[in-house]
Amino acid sequence: MNKIEHIGIAVKSLENSNDLFARLFGQAHYKVETVASEGVSTSFFQVGSNKIELLEATHSNSPIAKFIERKGEGIHHIAFDVDDIVAEIERLKHEGFKVLNETPKKGADNKMVAFLHPKSSNGVLIELCQEIKP
């Protein structure tokens, strides 16, 4: 793993939260994107060398809607940048981590992503991210 790619925060309202975090960071978000396959709309803020991703459910059955129903708004996941997501998935499986999706899928912000089950990482949902290269 190279670095923390971003921290994901589950929110009830992207519009309200964009305003709140813009005031907190002193700058507007740089991107809004919907990932239909995950039932989520996202918004990204660049804060120094770090990124914050806000996640709003687009329907009541989405993972974000279920997360907010159980735990309320707050930190949802920590994402790590990797060079080879397929190799990293295999390495982590070999190390005993439970991988939620063994085949990477297209995520937001031009990334291929895969997730580790929080039960195998002390209650933290871990996202692996690899930039999609043309």
From first to last of the 134 residues of the chain, give the pLDDT tens digit.
999 999 999 999 999 999 999 999 999 999 999 999 899 999 999 999 999 999 999 999 999 999 999 999 999 999 999 999 999 999 999 999 999 998 999 999 999 999 999 999 999 999 999 999 88
Q: Which residues of 11-23 are buried (b: 16+ CB within 10 A; e: fewer)?
A: beebeebbeebee
Quick one: which of 39, 50, 16, 48 has its CA closest to 107?
A: 39
For the whole model, what pTM was predicted?
0.93
CA dist., res. 116 & res. 7, Å (int): 15
